[in-house]
Structure 1
Amino acid sequence: MYHPSEWSSWRQQNKMAISLGTRQAADEEARAEVEVLNSRLDKTSQLTKKIQASLSRLESSGRSVQEAVGPLYGSTQKLQTLGANIDGVINAIQRIRQPSDIKSNEEDIIRKGPEKAGLAAFLSSVKRVNKALQEMKQTNLRTNQQAVSDLSRLLKAGNTQLEGHFQHLLQEDSRPIEPLYYITKDKAFPMLSQDKTTRLGLINSYIGSSMRQSGTSGESPVLQLYASVRGPYLTATLQNLASASLNTAKKKSPDAIYRQGTNGMGHYAKGMEAAFLAEYDNICGLFSREEWSRVFNLTCQGSISEMARTLRELNIHIKNNLTTDCYLAYEIIEIISNLSSNLDTRTGELRPTFAAALKPIRETGKSSLGELLEDTRRRISNLPTIPGDGAALPITSETMTRLQTMVDFLRPISSIMISIGDGGWKSAPNTNNSSDQIPTLKSFDVGADGKQIFAHYSVDTIDTLLTSLEARAKPVLKGKPALGVFIANNATVIERSIRNSDLQPLLQSRMGDIDKWRKTGAQLYTLAWREPSAHLLDVQYTNRGNRPQSGSAAAIDSAAILKGLGSKDKDSIKEKFRLFNASFDELVAKHKSLSMEKEVREMLGKQVQQMIEPLYGRFWDRYHEVDKGKGKYVKYDKGSISGVFLSLT
């Protein structure tokens, strides 16, 4: 490599050479650059050798450093491990000391209880104990076993006090009330206050959370606690209504027919519905949604059991007075069915429970239909006698009154009719296979008409009544007039009862069946009047002289007709008048002695008149001169006999 002074001198020489010629100058410059590059390569080689020598020395120094530093690094790692171990020991010591500190800090608060310490402070303390206990169980240190046991006992004591406080708070607002005050004033039943609900909710939330954290299975004890307090509250609140339902069923007169709304069951159901709905709102504000059903059923169980007991006692009363109090069964069926439906719509609960409680009375209601028919047959067959005057029997009016009263309970009776089917009253219900469920529309034949089936039942009842009466009267009223009047009287009482009541629209299409019975009675009655009618028939010989005159009655000449008769024929006419008079007078007296309903008397009087008067008028026109107006044989003229007929109606 050139020294700078040398390079400068060389360039000056070159400049001078260049001037000698351009080509010579270029060649010289190229040779100079090659020389410079060669010089640089020599210096680079020398530098590379120096670097290699330096790297060799550095590598040798590195091995020396590694040999010197290695033991120091190992010692440093050991020191780090030792430090970590020391920290772990310190932490372990702190954890060992922690339970003792927690117990000392929280035990005083828990010992005071939620009332003295305050619910918020007490809950915070119990939560801290619970958290510490869970963490301690996770460490699984043998030295913590005693501490775990101590904290467990402390936590259990705290939870027990919380449950007791929960119960105490509930009891403050669970004194029985008088339900009639709220029912008659149309007021909502009282609920738990908002402040009380908030405090109860905090306790319930903590206990539920604590159970989930600890992995405890089963339901929260708070559910049972709530039911154990509010259940007796509901039962005690409704107790007076239950007693009133039994007391109002007692009868002053054994024969008194139950009248709609006179039993206390209606108020009982209203009170129960209002109380249950208020309780359901309490539960919804206090418990989680998945707990609502369980708590509500537990809470209401006692009240429904008391209602079931009340219904069983009422059922015994109804069975003992079935003919007069079967309507109470129908009313209870409707009341409890409506109660169950209303609560089910609002809460979705209790329908099966109500159905089970109602089952005995519902079965009594079903069986009553057939038993009432059988009672009608039995009472008629056991009648001591049948009135000889053909008067209608009281059982007819009683039976029709029963049907009229049933119309007042047509809704529950219709549901019974649909459930047993048309004609189902003719066979005893199988109570063993009866469902506990209160019937709904889905359980009915959608094509069935409860009113129509009841109409069929009413017709069956009437037919059973009249058939039994006829069978009982035949051997007693051997005379056909009295038997006919008896049948017609009872049929007329039935018809009148239908037309003057709400039975009329139900049985309008079946009135012809009842009218047949009345016509049957009229036919039996008029059979006896054939005898006097027979005496008014005479034999006319058209091939003899003095042929009977035709034309109007005024044109008939009785004297001329009699003049053409022989003495034997005249005597026969006299005998016919005599026999007619005797038979007619006897039947008139019998007619007047019989007891007839107004409609029957008018009907039978007109039928007798239509049957006898035309025959007598014709016979009188022809033969009244047989005793020349002395009245010895011809007792009645046409005017007087017409008056007799008028007296019959």
Structure 2
Amino acid sequence: MVAPRKAAYAEESAEVEVLLANMEKLKGLTKKIQGSLNRLEMSGKNVKDAIGPIYGNTQRLQTINSNVDRIIEAIDRIQEPLDQRNREERIIRAGPRKVGMAEFIASLDRTTDALRGLRHSNLRSNQQAISELNTLLRIGTKQLEDVFREILSEDARPVEPLHYITKQLPFPALPQESASQLKIINTHVSASVAQISQGDFRETPTARTYAEIRGDYITTTLRNLAAASMSTARKTTADAIYRRGTNGIGTYAQGMEGLYVTEHENVRTVFAQDEWSRVFNATCQSSLNEFSKTLRELNTFIQHNLMTDCFLAYEIIEIVSTLSLRLEGRTGELKRPIADSLKLIRETAMTSLVKLLEDTRTRVQSLVALPMDGSPVPATTEVMTRLQTMTSYLPSLSSILASLGDGGWSTASASASSTSIPTIKSFDVGADGRKLFAHYASDTLNTLLQNIDAKSRMIHKTRPLQGVFIANNVAVINRMIRNSDLQPLLAGWTGKVDEYQKKSTDMYMDAWQETSKYLLDVQYTNRGARPPSGTTGSVDSAALIKSLGSKDKDAIKEKFRNFNASFEDLVAKHKSYRMEKEVKAQLTRDVQAFMEPLYSRFWDRYHEIDKGKGKYVKYSKDQFVATLAGLA
């Protein structure tokens, strides 16, 4: 047991010794490695000290080289605008006719882009280039403007408007090819002008040129229509009332509408949307000024002939207001300037309604004599003709009367605004418009009849003549109402007519009332037996006459004698009157209804007074009835 244990200890001891020996070797190796590291570090330091200056010099050289490259690039950039200017200048100064429109516009676009780029850079050295490019761009833009003007001028020869109006043809638009060229030119000119002025501009040169050339084309085309509007206003008969449609203003308005609608399409084709309104209004301005001038001249003419030509004012208002509404619907423009051109004529039209009412009164009051046969005065026909004529202008009159207000025509001046812009509603002749006109017409007729009545009382000495005179004038009024568009409008005025008819009949019948008194007798019921009366056919005239005393017989004879004289005088006067057909028929019926029963009764009772000799009883019942029938 002891021997094996000693052998194990000896083996372990040998291993320890080997381990210790290896450790010693490791220490020696570690010392060698440490020495090698120290030598390597020393060598690296020496290398760093030697290479450091060389590396620094290399970095500086790289920086210098980079700076030189940048300087060269900057020089190139500075030189580039000058080089580009030289290239574009040769093209632009040559002009579009030599180099072609496409190449010219391309060069202009490059110049515009170059100028835009230079403005964004802040290099002082670019200021000279900017100035030179600006000058070059102005030259190029001016050349494009000249081409724009030439293209426009080719299609700006005036046309004959009546050819297109009468055949209902659209006015000629710009040819498609020309419009396309104009659009391209305008686009590039707008861009160039924006760059030159840096956005500080209101209107491009091409827009001004367009408005000038096309505006002159429209004005010249319409000039003959403007002249025709004035020439057709001239009167051949001083007191002739204007007849609708005889003035050329309607054709003038048609020409304006056709030209403006076509021009609006041209503008939409050539210009950008934000320019449409401005360019279109500028283009139409010259012709609108001419139109306003024509309306002013027509207004002066109307004022000088107000009583006969106020109807022309009503027609102009209707035509021009409709024109403004139609143009607004088709172009969205021109409503205000066209409405403003009507201002003076609207004022004249409103004044005319007041003056016409005053003239109705003055026409009758100024009469120094009246027809002694009871004939109606011409003033009645003239006033009614006016009212009949007015019914042709209800749309415009409705608008004017609404501006005056119900009854406003009775004032000395029109205080309502005359500059209001017309609307579709203002030309809608509905119940209100008809009602206003009916009120105006009623006031006119009342004024006429009141003054006719007053003048007749002043001049005519007898009531029958006054009655015939008033009845005749009322008949003329009635007839002219029935035979015109006044009838539905004045349906509510019949009450006044009935009043004047009854009044005239009463005045005429006054004389017959006096004559009828001779046909009345007195019967005394307290003097014996009452004379037989009974029915007409049962009266015994001979017995009745026999029962009378001589004094009563003489009284009956005198009644017949006086009646005959008065009756014949009334018949003669009746026939001397100049009566309208319906007046004569009506008054004859009134006389027959009143006189026949009275004379029949009197004749039945007393015709035997002269025993059929006809000395006192000149008319049998049949003769009397025939005489009365002859009054018609």
TM-score (normalised: structure 2):
0.92
Residue from 502, 511, 514 that aligns with 1:528? 511
Asked if 1:234 corresponds to 2:242, the answer is no
Q: How many residues align?
A: 626
Contact 2:350 2:414 in 1 (8 A): no
Match of 2:183 in 1: 201
The equivalences for 1:393-404 within 5 A come to 393-404=377-388
Measure how far apart 1:141 and its partner are.
4.5
**Does structure 2 retain, via aligned residues, the 8 Å contact 1:245–1:263?**
yes
Structure 1 residues 51, 438: CA separation in 2 closer, same or farther (over 3 Å shift)? Answer: farther
1:326 positional shift? 1.9
Q: TM-score, normalised by structure 1?
A: 0.90
Work out the CA distance in 1 between the residues paired with 2:522 and 2:242.
Answer: 66
Distance 2:296 2:552 in 1: 83
**Aligned match for 1:479, one of 447, 459, 462:** 462
Residue 474 of structure 1 aligns to a residue whose secondary structure is helix
Name the residue aligned to 1:187. 169
CA contact (8 A) 2:471 2:505 kept: yes
Q: 1:442 to 1:390 in 2, by over 3 A?
A: closer
* Corresponding residue number in structure 2 for 1:299: 283
Q: Which has the higher mean CA deviation after the structures are superposed, 51-60 or 638-647?
A: 51-60
Change (3 A) 1:207 1:236: same
- Pick closer, same or farther for the CA change 1:150–1:637 going to 2, 3 Å: same
**Aligned partners of 2:487, 2:38: CA distance in 1, in Å?**
133
Q: Deviations over 1:24-79 (max 9, x none)?
A: 99x99999999999898887777766665555444444433333333223322322
- Is the 8 Å Cα contact of residues 158 and 221 (structure 2) preserved in structure 1? yes
Q: Which residue of 1 aligns with 2:61?
A: 79
Aligned residue in 1 for 2:567? 584
| Residue of structure 2 equivalent to 1:413 | 397
- Structure 1 residue 247 and structure 2 residue 231: aligned? yes
**C-alpha separation in 2, matches of 1:322 and 1:307:** 21
Aligned to 2:485: 502
How big is the shift at 1:603?
A: 0.7
Question: Which residue in 1 is equivalent to 2:295?
Answer: 311
Identity %: 54
Q: For the structure 1 residues 37 and 238, does the alpha-carbon distance in structure 2 shift closer, same or farther, using more than 3 Å as the test?
A: farther
What secondary structure, in the 3-state scheme, does the structure 2 residue paired with 1:261 have?
Answer: coil
SS in 2 for 1:408: helix
Structure 1 stretch displaced more, 577-586 or 102-111: 102-111
Q: Is the 8 A contact 1:491 1:515 kept in 2?
A: no
- Residues 108, 509 of structure 1: alpha-carbon distance in 2 compared, 3 angstrom cutoff: same
Q: Which residue of 2 aligns with 1:561?
A: 544
Alignment partners' CA distance in 2, 1:57 and 1:594: 163
Name the amino acid aligned to 1:481: P
> Can you give the 5+ residue segments of structure 2 that lack an aligned partner in the other structure?
none
2:260 paired residue among 276, 285, 299: 276
Query: How far apart in 2 are the matches of 1:161 and 1:491?
Result: 79
5 Å matches for 1:127-142? 127-142=109-124
1:330 Cα deviation from its structure 2 partner: 1.6
RMSD: 2.8
Instruction: Give the match for residue 454 of structure 1.
Output: 437
C-alpha distance in 1 between matches for 2:297 and 2:399 = 23
Instruction: Flag the 1:112–1:391 CA change in 2: closer, same or farther, 3 A.
Output: same
Matched, 1:121 2:103: yes
Which residue does 2:596 correspond to in 1? 613
Return the letter of the residue paired with 2:486: L
1:75–1:326: structure 2 CA closer, same or farther, 3 Å change rule? Answer: same
Amino acid at match of 2:84: I
Correspondences of 1:316-465 after superposition (within 5 Å): 316-430=300-414, 434-441=417-424, 449-465=432-448
The residue matched to 1:475 in structure 2 has which SS? Answer: helix
1:482-507 Cα deviation digits (max 9, x unpaired): 11001000101111111112222222
Distance 1:93 1:28 in 2: 94
Q: Is the 8 A contact 2:318 2:396 kept in 1?
A: yes
627, 631, 639: which one aligns with 2:610? 627
2:601 equivalent to 1:598: no
1:391 and 1:486 in contact (8 A); partners too: yes
> Which residue identity does 2:158 align to in structure 1?
P
After superposing the two structures, state which structure 1 stretch, 564-573 or 297-306, moved more. Answer: 564-573
Gap change, CA 1:36 and 1:581, over 3 Å in 2 = farther
Between 202-211 and 439-448, the greater mean CA deviation after superposition: 439-448
Shift of 1:194: 1.8
Please give the alpha-carbon distance, in whole angstroms, between the structure 2 residues aligned to 1:29 and 1:410. 147
Give the superposition deviation at 1:469.
Answer: 1.2
Residue 154 of structure 1, aligned match among 136, 140, 162? 136
1:403-435 Cα shifts (integer Å, max 9, x gaps): 11211222222222333332222224546x625
Of stretches 557-566 and 27-36 in structure 1, the one that deviates more from structure 2 is 27-36
Q: Deviations for 1:214-248, whole angstroms, at most 9, x for unmatched residues?
A: 52312222221211111111111111111111111
Question: Cα–Cα, structure 1 residues 505 and 94, in superposed 2: closer, same or farther, change >3 Å?
Answer: same
Aligned mates of 1:248, 1:28 — CA distance in 2 = 156
Q: Residues 31 and 292 from structure 1, CA distance in 2 versus in 1: closer, same or farther, beyond 3 angstroms?
A: farther
Equivalent residue number for residue 551 of structure 1? 534
- Which stretch of structure 1 is more off in the superposition, 332-341 or 440-449? 440-449
Residues 188 and 564 (structure 1 numbering): CA distance in 2 closer, same or farther, change over 3 Å? same
| 1:67–1:530 distance in 2 versus 1, CA, 3 Å | same
Note the C-alpha offset of 1:128: 2.4
Q: How many angstroms apart in 2 are the aligned matches of 1:640 and 1:48?
A: 182
3-state SS of the aligned residue for 2:95? Answer: helix
388-397 or 137-146: bigger deviation: 137-146
> 1:392, CA displacement in angstroms?
0.8
Name the counterpart of 2:621.
638
- Residues 568, 222 of structure 1: CA spacing in aligned structure 2 closer, same or farther, 3 A cutoff? same
Q: How far, CA to CA, are the matches of 2:107 and 2:308 in structure 1?
A: 68
Q: What SS class does the counterpart of residue 364 from structure 1 fall into?
A: helix
Judge conservation of contact 2:214–2:283 (CA < 8 Å) in 1.
yes
User: Any idea what SS the aligned residue of 2:522 has?
Assistant: coil
What are the superposed Cα offsets for residues 268-295 of structure 1, whole Å, 9 maximum, x if unpaired?
Answer: 1111111111111111111111111111
Aligned to 2:249: 265
CA distance in 1, matches of 2:11, 2:317: 133
8 Å CA contact 1:367, 1:429 repeated in 2: yes
Checking the alignment, whether the CA contact within 8 Å between 1:352 and 1:437 is kept in structure 2 is: no
- Residue aligning to 1:7: none
| Residues 211 and 217, structure 1, Cα contact 8 Å, conserved in 2 | no
Tell me how far apart the structure 1 counterparts of residues 429 and 515 of structure 2 sit (CA, whole Å).
Answer: 60
Q: Report the Cα offset of residue 127 of structure 1.
A: 2.4
Change in CA separation of 1:238 and 1:584 when aligned onto 2, cut-off 3 Å: same
CA deviation digits over 1:295-318, x for unaligned, max 9? Answer: 111011111111111111111122
- Larger CA deviation: 476-485 vs 338-347: 338-347
CA contact (8 A) 2:160 2:221 kept: yes
In structure 2, relative to structure 1, the CA distance for the partners of 1:281 and 1:429 (3 Å cut) is: farther
* 1:93 and 2:79 correspond: no
Q: Distance in 1 between matches of 2:394 and 2:56?
A: 103
Q: Distance in 1 between matches of 2:30 and 2:354?
A: 130
1:623-643 superposed Cα distances (whole Å, 9 cap, x missing partner): 122222222222222111111
In structure 2, distance between residues paired with 1:428 and 1:58: 127
1:149 deviates by 3.2
